[in-house]
């Protein structure tokens, strides 16, 4: 019989259950390795482990928790809904929760922005939305090729994975990489090279070997790719290219939409109107939900042509409706995001200036920011140091060289600054440790 070691008691005399993770969960697990504690509760931008330790959350569920953990309005609305036996699962049937969400989304989000979209409910994750968007674009345009971008990230199902740029995820063993051409994102060749001109040349040249695509799928800010921010002009150029060559423009707004850049949609600042928009993560108010927004003339689906058992999460409809009503009927949250973003940028730039030999750079928009540290493993070590000081962060980029900050949009300014100070202290400690290992020599 397999012998299970008795777990050790923590400071409060409670036995940790962390051993269950090692014994039973697949090796594919990820974040639990980076944050190896048992979390017990969470509120706003704070999480607490089983020992009562408090952590500032600058990760926010990879962008799911824009409104923080356990928002009181969400909790109350869901409890009320369940106490009245509201429909929890209904496939794509009409429910009171769905109708309220659709009415609110049109009134609060679409109408003020003069956006006319049909709403498709897919399975509850972002990659489900991407798969549906690619499938629809190929069907409507009657072409199979798609343009994706260097350092892009769109999910882990086969179609979305093919569109993902990072080879860390795109192992050929997972499936075919056909029908995707990767184009250079804005700034990929440096500031002096206009990749829009490069892409247009490939499209126009009949001997380029590149087929005109059905769609172009792009993130306005590449989160997993290392916080690469597309310029306003480049986004306008991509829209112009798509219109000129009858290409469907798909914006993947899964991580940086829902107010993360300050605007509800990250493409608003550029003044463009995508043909299709993929929305997930924070749209569900903390619960699983994904939608695809489609220009009406492209909505060529036949009933049931794209389906799924969990399309339409009624509890997420309830949560989302509450957050839309609370935060998006005015511009207060947007201006708070812009203001807090400046605070984050200033603190990160101060850190970069303090250690010029590390050649750190700061980039981002709104409340999605990255600190690039071009030294192998340094960003990961900094994330570990921060976690030791009870700050939760993650890394991104092709070499995991960027420390990525995604605090909840509603985080209190004082707590935000406290977290940024903790990050600065963590950097100081890491630099000191490395100097000590070098016998006091500078890095």
Residue 10 lies in a domain: no
- Order of strands across the sheet with 248-252? 118-121, 291-294, 276-279, 248-252, 215-218, 146-149, 180-183
Are 79 and 59 in the same domain? Answer: no
Distances (CA, A) of 363 to 91, 97, 262, 348: 41, 39, 15, 9
**What's this model's pTM, rounded to 2 decimal places?**
0.93
> What is the spatial distance between Cα 327 and Cα 25, in angstroms, rounded to a whole number?
37
Residue 439 — left, alpha, or beta (φ > 0 → left; ψ -120 to 50 → alpha)? left
**pLDDT at position 132, please?**
95
Q: Are 304 and 363 contained in the same domain?
A: no
Judgement on whether residues 230 and 292 belong to the same structural domain of the protein = yes
Tokens for 333, please give them. Answer: 């949250």
Confidence (pLDDT) at 199: 96
We report the CATH number of the domain holding residue 217 as 3.40.640.10
Q: Are residues 307 and 351 in the same domain?
A: no
Q: Is 58 in the same domain as 147?
A: no
Q: How confident is the model at residue 4 (pLDDT cuts 50, 70, 90)?
A: very low
Return the pLDDT at 170: 62
Q: Do residues 167 and 28 share a domain?
A: no
Reported residue count of the chain is 443
Best mean pLDDT range from 17-26, 185-194, 308-317, 409-418: 409-418
Find residue 279's DSSP bridge partners. 291
Q: What DSSP letter does each residue of 218-269 carry, written as one string?
A: E-SEETTTTSEEPPHHHHHHHHHHHHHTT-EEEEE-TTTTTTTTSSSSTTGG
Report residue 57's pLDDT band, with 50, 70 and 90 as the boundaries: very high
Give percent above pLDDT 90 in the chain. 85
Both 136 and 272 in one domain: the answer is: yes
Are 221 and 207 members of one domain? yes
d(CA 443, CA 438): 8
CATH code assigned at 411 = 3.90.1150.10
Using pLDDT thresholds of 50, 70 and 90, give the confidence band for residue 5.
Answer: very low
Helix (H) or strand (E) holding 368: strand 368-372
Residue 245 lies in a domain: yes
Q: What is the DSSP string of 295-316?
A: -GGG--PPTTSS--TTSS-HHH
pLDDT band at 176 (very low <50, low <70, confident <90, very high): low
Q: How do residues 100-148 score in pLDDT, each as one tens digit? A: 999 999 999 999 999 999 999 999 999 999 999 999 999 999 999 999 9
Total structural domains in the chain? 2
Are 321 and 219 in a shared domain? Answer: yes
Q: At what angle do helices 314-327 and 96-104 cross, to 10 degrees?
A: 30
Are both 341 and 393 inside the same structural domain?
Answer: yes
Token reading at 214 = 């059905």
What does the alpha-carbon distance between residue 89 and residue 154 come to, in Å, rounded to a whole number? Answer: 27
Q: Judge if 312 and 195 occupy the same domain.
A: yes
- 158-175: per-residue pLDDT in tens? 777 777 777 666 665 555
Cα(102)–Cα(138) distance, integer angstroms: 26
Sign of CA pseudo-dihedral 328, 281, 146, 188: positive
In a domain, 367, yes or no: yes
Burial of 197 (0-12, 13-18, 19+ CB in 10 A): exposed
Secondary structure element (H or E) that encloses residue 402, with its range:
strand 402-405
Strand 276-279 relative to strand 291-294: parallel, antiparallel, unpaired? antiparallel
Question: Residues 229-266: pLDDT tens digits?
Answer: 999 999 999 999 999 999 999 999 999 999 999 999 99
315 contacts 287 by C-beta, under 8 angstroms: yes
Provide the domain limits for residue 432.
Answer: 18-36+47-70+332-374+381-437
């Amino acid at each position: 019989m397999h012998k299970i070691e008795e777990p050790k008691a923590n400071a409060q005399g409670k036995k940790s259950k962390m051993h269950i993770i090692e014994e039973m969960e697949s090796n594919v697990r990820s974040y639990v390795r980076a944050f190896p504690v048992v979390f017990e509760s969470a509120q706003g931008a704070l999480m607490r482990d089983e020992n009562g330790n408090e952590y500032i959350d600058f990760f926010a569920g990879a962008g799911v928790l824009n409104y923080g953990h356990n928002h009181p309005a969400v909790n109350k609305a869901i409890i009320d809904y369940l106490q009245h036996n509201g429909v929890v699962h209904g496939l794509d049937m009409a429910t009171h929760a769905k109708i309220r969400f659709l009415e609110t989304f049109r009134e609060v989000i679409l109408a003020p922005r003069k956006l006319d979209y049909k709403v498709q409910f897919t399975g509850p994750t972002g990659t489900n939305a991407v798969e549906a968007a690619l499938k629809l674009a190929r069907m409507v345009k009657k072409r199979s090729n798609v343009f994706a971008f260097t350092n892009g990230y769109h999910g882990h199902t086969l179609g979305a994975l093919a569109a993902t740029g990072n080879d860390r995820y795109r192992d050929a063993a997972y499936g075919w990489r056909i029908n995707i051409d990767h184009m250079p994102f804005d700034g990929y060749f440096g500031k002096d090279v206009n990749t829009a001109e490069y892409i247009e040349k490939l499209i126009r040249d009949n001997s380029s070997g590149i087929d005109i695509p059905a769609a172009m799928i792009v993130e306005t800010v590449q989160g997993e790719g290392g916080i690469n921010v597309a310029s306003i002009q480049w986004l306008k150029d991509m829209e112009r290219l798509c219109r000129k060559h009858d290409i469907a423009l798909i914006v993947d707004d899964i991580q940086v939409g829902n107010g993360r850049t300050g605007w509800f949609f990250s493409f608003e600042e550029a003044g463009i109107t995508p043909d299709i928009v993929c929305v997930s993560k924070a749209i569900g108010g903390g619960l699983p939900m994904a939608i695809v927004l489609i220009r009406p003339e492209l909505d060529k689906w036949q009933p049931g042509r794209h389906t799924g058992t969990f399309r339409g999460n009624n509890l997420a409809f309830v949560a989302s409706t509450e957050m839309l009503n609370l935060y998006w009927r005015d511009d207060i949250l947007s201006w708070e995001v812009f203001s807090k973003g400046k605070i984050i940028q200033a603190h990160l730039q101060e850190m970069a200036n303090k250690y010029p030999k590390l050649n750190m750079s700061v980039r981002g928009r709104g409340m999605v920011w990255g600190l690039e540290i071009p030294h192998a493993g340094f960003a990961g070590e900094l994330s570990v140091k921060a976690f030791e000081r009870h700050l939760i962060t993650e890394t991104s980029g092709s070499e995991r060289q960027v420390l990525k900050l995604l605090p909840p949009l509603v985080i209190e300014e004082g707590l935000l600054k406290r977290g940024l100070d903790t990050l600065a202290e963590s950097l100081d400690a890491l630099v000191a440790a490395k100097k000590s290992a070098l016998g006091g020599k500078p890095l």
